[in-house]
Structure 1
């Protein structure tokens, strides 16, 4: 059954938080969410989300891209399926992205649109997204870890998350050798049986510093060390760190394109592959990358830091891929996360249960989220 879109709605939300997300590249003082709602000519609908957590106001630019070029292009054609739409629109907008020097924002908008089309298709067929992707066997729950831990408040956050059902945690590092070592040592010492600890440097070290810190922090028995150096550093640097590290290296959220991920998986320096489907590729790209990563013996742990729509998308794709892998579950303050993904699943004994409803299995509560709504726009297909 083909897809012929009648309209696309975009909703931009922004919420103030008391504790910003703290990373080695800077802080995220606001939580922004850009949602898409697509509707076909038969009235079926689906939800998507566009990556926009950094810089803090990057969502405003993406709203304009949707309005001026992407939605008009998407609404002017009929597609065989969501993958056909993603490939078609990626090709059609390629020169525009180059001309505007904005391949990242274009890819993020197309990734969010791709998710919405997959959600629409699954709802139309009355299947969960994971069942639509994997008709043979898909998981009904996926392992999850608490992400985004601020090193300044990490012990308290771990205690809160442990109480909330988590059994794995990831703390931010690359704030100085002494501070990193002190925080990781303290958290590792207090882990309980069966719990895991990971660290995320957010590309925060150069090679000289990474040579020192990767072995030092890895000695605490970490699950992985994420993005110790910039994602675009030469393979020789990743190769060296992979040999120096006593634990797996992780990355992928800042990689784009099939060729980029094929190289990352094939080179073997990343034991943990972490694409962000709403930065690049949508469900179409992420599912392909996830399957390939697992086939190559890697762990597939999709990256996400946004609302419940994107979180459920990452969970559904991970469930379709299978394992090994874990779901990244942001646990820092964000009122939009749960309000925009109802009913919101709760982690239990380290696992994130997936809803049985069609598509993503959740709906944004627009009434509950109205106080954070900044902009809403609607785009309609031309008369055919």
Structure 2
């Protein structure tokens, strides 16, 4: 199964209203797909995260098509881990002079497509190839609630069957606290409330905000400080032993996962198969977490192609927790694949079928593809 070509496919849609995050606003939803074609006719698909910074969708085209594709053309697509290691070794010097995260995210999309192709070749789901399926059905939490009315967004999610919702903070202390209190009051004590700071706080502000946010009984507080500021995380862990912390979506080294897990700096680890180096790396991170008794809540903020990949990671975990589901208004997210992966009653099931178990909708992709 020799590789004939590796291609980056950008699908893009403008949003009716921007999605605010503490690190900036999304005016478009960009979905970076990767297509690996083989001489035998099997095509594998993957996804690379291209949310931030705003020019990422352009950078990723060059990184994949000019940097990674030449490394793989003519290679045996079946040897996924060797090809992943080849990409990592070839690009490692650039992580010292450029962006470790950008390179890891590019490799993620290609590696995912290779797993999809391998699964199709063997007529096996990727989760089976990664070590076996431990479970197939998952409870989800809803994120991407209405920015203009998060209380209404939370109630809408609950009406759709979700028993857990996540709000974002980092927009001003008074506003953050007011929103958290209002959402908790509206949803009551029996719905899990997750809080994501998107690395918005320095240590003094994190101390203040965590102390106040603790009043709303958060299920977890996610990334209150920079993801690699382990000293700050250790201090917060020591000062707030009763608060659960989530971490990992912006981690690009397994050594960092090991450090956080072994030191107990977080209670939930969140490997992202579209960001951290691919599905194999995400599962390695998950196993590090599980070995330390920590549950995994894998991360994905992109199209339903990557969502399927995330479900395969969760399926292969011995100890998994809630699954992230983006409920923001972004129809293209769901339409990228033919299969309907929208949770029902707040639950989602691992898609059946070989590879990732989903079929990219070629008509939708062609209609929304953005060409440079």
TM-score by length of 1: 0.91
Q: Is the 8 A contact 2:166 2:195 kept in 1?
A: yes
Q: Is the 8 A contact 2:155 2:187 kept in 1?
A: no
Residue 155 (structure 1) shift: 1.5
Moved more, 329-338 or 75-84: 75-84
Moved more, 197-206 or 124-133: 124-133
Q: Does 1:316 align with 2:308?
A: no
Q: Is the 8 A contact 1:346 1:353 kept in 2?
A: no
Q: Does 1:175 align with 2:159?
A: no
CA distance in 2, matches of 1:159, 1:38: 41
Residue 333 (structure 1) shift: 1.9
Q: Does 1:293 align with 2:325?
A: no
1:69 to 67, 70, 80: 67
Counterpart residue number, 1:124: 121
Q: Decide whether aligned partners of structure 1 residues 8 and 47 sit closer, same or farther in structure 2, where only a CA change above 3 A counts.
A: same
Counterpart residue number, 1:211: 207
CA distance in 2, matches of 1:293, 1:133: 16
Long gaps (5+) in structure 2? none
Q: Is the 8 A contact 2:6 2:69 kept in 1?
A: yes
Q: Does 1:240 align with 2:240?
A: no
Q: Does the residue aligned with 2:245 lie in a helix, a strand or coil?
A: strand
Q: Is the 8 A contact 1:22 1:150 kept in 2?
A: no
Q: Decide whether aligned partners of structure 1 residues 80 and 205 sit closer, same or farther in structure 2, where only a CA change above 3 A counts.
A: same
Moved more, 59-68 or 186-195: 186-195
CA distance in 1, matches of 2:112, 2:85: 13
When the two structures are aligned, how many residues end up with a matched partner? 371
Counterpart residue number, 1:351: 347
The 5-angstrom pairing of residues 67-216 of structure 1 reads 67-78=65-76, 81-99=79-97, 101-135=98-132, 137-192=133-188, 194-216=190-212
Q: Does the residue aligned with 1:156 lie in a helix, a strand or coil?
A: helix
Counterpart residue number, 1:381: none
For CA contacts below 8 A with separation 6 or more, give which structure has more relative contact order.
1
Q: Is the 8 A contact 1:30 1:56 kept in 2?
A: no
Residue 275 (structure 1) shift: 1.9
CA distance in 2, matches of 1:40, 1:226: 40
Q: Does the residue aligned with 1:47 lie in a helix, a strand or coil?
A: strand
Residue 96 (structure 1) shift: 4.2
Residue 150 (structure 1) shift: 4.9
2:330 to 334, 348, 352: 334
CA distance in 1, matches of 2:18, 2:308: 23
Q: Is the 8 A contact 1:51 1:278 kept in 2?
A: yes
Measured against aligned partners, the alpha-carbon deviations of 1:78-116 in whole angstroms (never above 9, x if no partner) come to 3652111111221122234445x1332221111111101
Residue 371 (structure 1) shift: 3.3
Q: Decide whether aligned partners of structure 1 residues 80 and 124 sit closer, same or farther in structure 2, where only a CA change above 3 A counts.
A: closer
Counterpart residue number, 2:261: 265
2:224 to 228, 234, 240: 228
Q: Is the 8 A contact 1:345 1:352 kept in 2?
A: yes
After superposing on structure 2, the runs of 4+ consecutive aligned residues of structure 1 that deviate more than 6 Å are none
Q: Does the residue aligned with 1:56 lie in a helix, a strand or coil?
A: coil
Counterpart residue number, 1:382: none
Long gaps (5+) in structure 1? 377-384
CA distance in 1, matches of 2:285, 2:48: 19
Counterpart residue number, 2:49: 51
Q: Is the 8 A contact 1:151 1:171 kept in 2?
A: no
Moved more, 70-79 or 248-257: 70-79
Q: Does the residue aligned with 2:343 lie in a helix, a strand or coil?
A: coil
CA distance in 2, matches of 1:76, 1:96: 24
CA distance in 2, matches of 1:326, 1:184: 20
TM-score by length of 2: 0.94
Q: Is the 8 A contact 2:36 2:43 kept in 1?
A: yes
Residue 194 (structure 1) shift: 4.4
Measured against aligned partners, the alpha-carbon deviations of 1:251-309 in whole angstroms (never above 9, x if no partner) come to 11121111121112111111011122222220010011112212211121112111111
Q: CA-atom RMSD, angstroms?
A: 1.8
Counterpart residue number, 1:306: 302
Q: Does the residue aligned with 1:323 lie in a helix, a strand or coil?
A: coil
